Amino acid sequence: MLRVHGVHAAHEMPGVRGALPQPIAPAPRPRAFLPAVLLAAATAAAAGAAPITVTTDARSIRPGELVVFTIGVPDGTDHVTVRAFDRDVPATRLDNGAWRALVGIDVGVRPRRYRVEISAEGGDGPAATLSYPLPVASRTFPTRRLRVDPDFVNPPAGQLDRILREAKELNGLWERAAEAPWRTGPFVRPVPGPANSAFGTRSIFNGEERSRHSGGDFRAATGTPVRAPGGGRVALADDLYFSGRTVVIDHGLGLFSLLAHLSEIDVTAGDVIEAGDTVGRTGATGRVTGPHLHWAVRVNGARVDPLSVLAVLGPAR
């Protein structure tokens, strides 16, 4: 039997996750090559209102990536709606008057052209609208084959009720609109160690395919302090079957961090925390073979690579 270090069988039961976003009808071809701002101006001019402008910040437009939208709106706008991947995405006004929304491209999204529908309302004029193209490029994730003790991948029947209950609880968190206010402060690494980020990897344990690895793993000896990657409110602090001692942070705007396999938890649900605050210590609790930190991120339900969050919301480069 090959000994594996720092991996886990799964963090969620296959088949209990919510439905994947469905593609939106493709754009007519000639529009596809218009720069976003021109497209915005054209769309809004047709509607007889001041234009919406959009700038996006992302590592790339591929499955598993966070895309930060900064939305310029007409004067007098008091409400902005954003819809992406068949979901309403919350938007908030920044201090400089622009609006912010976070669009996650789920790891399972099929590559093709999608659209993000944006509308700005307020004052007496008609709502300004913009249909913003989001061409999702293809991405290949690695597959790893591991041989482990069968008990490691097949939870005992007596644990199934607990596993399903916990999966439901977690899915309920992602599906609920985020309640914490958005903080603009930069995100930070939760532990100093490097990420051997196996995000998106398909694992085949003893010849059987298991759910995708929907987080990043960071090397860390047991007892290393785990810092909150961003500010927000603790949404869950509990001991779960797969992820062991786990802390979930609601960062606002639909962005959540899940920090797993902790040896110790130092916060309780409801606590308001800042980026960098210690929430616990690393360990090897739950279904793991060795100590490490598993950091998973959900953005309005989408599973994205935590390193894509650090890349666009981290300290200024």
Query: Are 61 and 136 within 8 A, CB to CB?
Result: yes
Query: Are 242 and 9 within 8 A, CB to CB?
Result: yes
**Interface size with Zn ion, residues (CB under 5 A):** 3
Paired tokens of 268: 């309780």
Q: Among the candidate windows 101-109, 174-182, 270-278, 294-302, which touches Zn ion by CB under 5 A? A: 294-302
Nearer to Zn ion, 216 or 252 (CB): 216
Q: Which of 215, 229, 283, 286 binds Zn ion (CB under 5 A)?
A: 215
| Least spacing, CB of residue 248 vs Zn ion, in Å | 15
Pairing state between β 255-265 and 128-135:
unpaired
Query: Are 64 and 303 within 8 A, CB to CB?
Result: yes
Q: Given strand 143-146, what is the order of strands in its sheet?
A: 143-146, 202-205, 208-209
Q: Which of residues 157-196 bind Zn ion (CB under 5 A)?
A: none
Nearer to Zn ion, 236 or 258 (CB): 258
Q: Among the candidate windows 20-28, 102-110, 134-142, 211-219, which touches Zn ion by CB under 5 A? A: 211-219
Q: Among the candidate windows 20-28, 124-132, 181-189, 213-221, which touches Zn ion by CB under 5 A? A: 213-221
In sequence order, what DSSP letters do the residues of 161-199 get, joined into one string?
A: HHHHHHHHHHHHHHHSPP-SPPP-SPP--SSSSPB---T
| Residue whose pair of structure tokens reads 């110790």 in the numeric block | 264
Kind and range of the H or E run holding 306: helix 306-313
12 binds Zn ion (CB under 5 A): no
| Least spacing, CB of residue 8 vs Zn ion, in Å | 6
User: How far lies 140's CA from each of 118, 290, 300, in Å?
Assistant: 30, 27, 23
294 binds Zn ion (CB under 5 A): yes
Q: Among the candidate windows 45-53, 103-111, 183-191, 215-223, which touches Zn ion by CB under 5 A? A: 215-223
What single DSSP character describes residue 4? -
Measure the CA–CA gap between 38 and 45, rounded to whole angstroms.
10
* CA angle at 22 for the pair 179 and 72, rounded to the nearest 5°: 55
| Least spacing, CB of residue 217 vs Zn ion, in Å | 4
| Least spacing, CB of residue 199 vs Zn ion, in Å | 9
Nearer to Zn ion, 233 or 303 (CB): 303
Query: Are 88 and 22 within 8 A, CB to CB?
Result: no
217 binds Zn ion (CB under 5 A): yes
Q: Among the candidate windows 46-54, 82-90, 210-218, 297-305, which touches Zn ion by CB under 5 A? A: 210-218
212 binds Zn ion (CB under 5 A): no
Nearer to Zn ion, 287 or 294 (CB): 294
Instruction: Tell me the residue number closest to Zn ion, measured at CB.
Output: 294
Nearer to Zn ion, 10 or 130 (CB): 10
Nearer to Zn ion, 227 or 294 (CB): 294
Nearer to Zn ion, 119 or 246 (CB): 246
Nearer to Zn ion, 100 or 294 (CB): 294
Which of 12, 1, 6 is closest to 155 using CA atoms? Answer: 12
- Which residues bind to Zn ion, rule: CB under 5 A? 215, 217, 294
